[in-house]
Chains A and B, each alone.
Chain A
């Protein structure tokens, strides 16, 4: 069997101090290090100065419509995820597109000059990593390249963290996006659950990742470490708090637009749009004209919008999606069904954020299971 053989150069081990070193190295390389940290009772992505700011010994408890952070464990990545995904870094909540100047009598349009930060993301969950692949399809779609997104994506460095426990609302195993990151990262980390001292298994995926790992204090990894990581991953996959049955889902949602279950969920849905804000893949936007400090200038901004807003579908004569039923149906059908037609993949990564941050606790996995399935209804 495996024994305690040393494994390839792709894997290394580090101690807790390795995380300090990692952040230091990244900062020396001029990266803005973005990672999870506790703030006002929530674990959110924010810029980190050092590894002590990671949410050591904190876990989150998530239920439909509820989220809280408590003490538990001794690792940095015990929690599942917070309300913010990485979306806002690549697809900012608001972005200046251009300025128009009418002072010369005619109109002059000038593109906004935007500086793209150089981010290193530390502690990306596999589900969030998968969400970036999905956003790539939207913003690098072959019709028009969103160059802010493209530059930010190219400039960034990606340090993934494989999950060592599953949250109550997690269903990445259903969406095949986790709990272990398979691609799209420079290095990935797995906190090993063992009786030994705190150890992190590092997997190196890119040359860039290797050169960074070479600058921090690591030791050789062995077959046992890798099998422990795999066991952990298997255990997490088995203990997902939620399951979404995806077989036939694309057809079932599109073919049952008139299912009475839509009206039922609409009675609970407040159409607040929280689900679209916390979703790591919801990408819809609007534009705004803002008067500049000079009265002959206007600035055009691109800002996040939601398919739950009434003016989202405004055409001559009013909004096309008046009822909350039609707006919830659009969101769910797009996310789990028409997204596949449009981009070849589901728009859902199974992070569970929309369930936790829904003020009335609507559960996407339950609602999806009810559409087109009369026997599922009470």
Chain B
């Protein structure tokens, strides 16, 4: 007796239509996509999807939409490789493939009743936006809330309208690596803003996302202020093809980033982050 049933692969995407395309800044675009009915699982902040562009390929991209508005799937994408470059060129009405959500979420519930510290670098703000949306609408649930955001220059401030006069203004601080004289704000790296003067690190939970070196320096700055490394969380990025722990590519020491990550406690990965080319 031969088995000729159709074998459902975990790797088959659902077709989804682009509803809205917004250019954030140079080569960075936010796509809003209609959620396909077959994607039944709601995403949690920190999780990611696999996005497929017809004939080009598939990549992992973090959710950056509002967790209370699950009818739309939102991703902010920077053009760095051939798939992301094709993704940012999609227009409303175009189709793409989506499967997900995958991975571990930010431990927002763990931070309830405590001081929440969010540190983002560059496009690392995108995977944290769902957290900021959720926290902004339930501020009373946290003792305090701080957002420190560092980016290259004033023209590359992601989600800029949220900061100046927006809902993140009261708890957010922005710093840029360099700026011309028009810029009135902070100049310097994010760790310059991690200080005891502005942050209450007692009973705090910190969420950090950005380049690995930025996450390490930020985490160490928080540890210097007395935080425990198991109360600091980072989000990892590795090459992924399957997102279901079978292609082997996203291994990071003993972890599969697609499954054990992308969000991991700094205590879990601190040693591994120090190993070059792991």
Contacts and interface: CB of A to CB of B under 8 A. Distances in A.
Interface of A: 30, 97-98, 100, 102, 106-109, 111-118, 138-139, 141, 143-148, 151, 155, 254, 257-258, 283-287, 289, 291, 298, 300, 302, 305, 307, 311-317, 320-323, 325-326, 330, 334, 338, 341-342
B17 interface: yes
Contacts of B276: 326
Q: Majority SS of interface residues in chain B?
A: loop
Nearest to A302: B11
Contacts of A257: 275, 278
Contacts of A155: 2-3
9 closest A-B pairs (Cβ-Cβ)? A341-B254, A284-B248, A326-B277, A144-B244, A316-B80, A144-B10, A107-B15, A338-B254, A147-B7
In terms of DSSP, what is the predominant structure of the interface of chain A? Answer: mixed
Given A107-B96, A254-B253, A302-B11, A287 B277 contact: no
Interface in B100-137: none
- Residue among B7, B249, B259 with the most chain A CB within 10 A? B7
Interface residues of B, number: 48
A114 B7 contact: yes
Given A139-B246, A151-B3, A316-B81, A285 B57 contact: no
Contact of A287 (B11, B17, B78, B253): B11
A282 to B, nearest CB: 8
Interface of B: 1-4, 6-15, 17, 52, 54-58, 78, 80-81, 84, 95-97, 237-239, 241-242, 244-249, 251, 253-254, 256, 259, 275-278
22 contacts: A111-B7, A112-B9, A114-B7, A116-B3, A116-B4, A144-B246, A145-B10, A155-B2, A155-B3, A254-B253, A257-B275, A286-B241, A286-B249, A287-B11, A287-B247, A289-B56, A298-B54, A312-B239, A315-B238, A315-B239, A316-B81, A317-B80
Nearest to B275: A257
A98 B277 contact: no
Contacts of A287: 11, 57-58, 241-242, 247
Nearest to B17: A106
Given A102-B95, A143-B245, A143-B259, 15 more contacts: A98-B9, A113-B4, A144-B10, A146-B10, A146-B246, A147-B7, A151-B3, A283-B248, A287-B242, A300-B11, A314-B239, A321-B277, A330-B251, A338-B251, A341-B254
A287 B11 CA distance: 10
B249 A291 contact: no
Contacts of A334: 251
B78 A316 contact: yes
B3 A115 contact: yes
Contacts, number: 146
A286 B14 contact: no
Contact of B97 (A109, A117, A316): A109
Contacts of B239: 311-315, 320
B241 A100 contact: no
Nearest to B13: A109
A128 B14 CA distance: 38
B155 to A, nearest CB: 20
Contacts of A116: 2-4, 7
A148 B11 contact: no
A317 B80 CA distance: 8
Contacts of B10: 144-146
A200 B57 CA distance: 53
Listed residue (B13, B78, B96) with the most chain A CB atoms within 10 angstroms of its CB: B13
A114 B97 CA distance: 22
A98 B95 contact: no
A322 B276 CA distance: 10
A147 B9 contact: yes
Contacts of B3: 115-116, 118, 151, 155
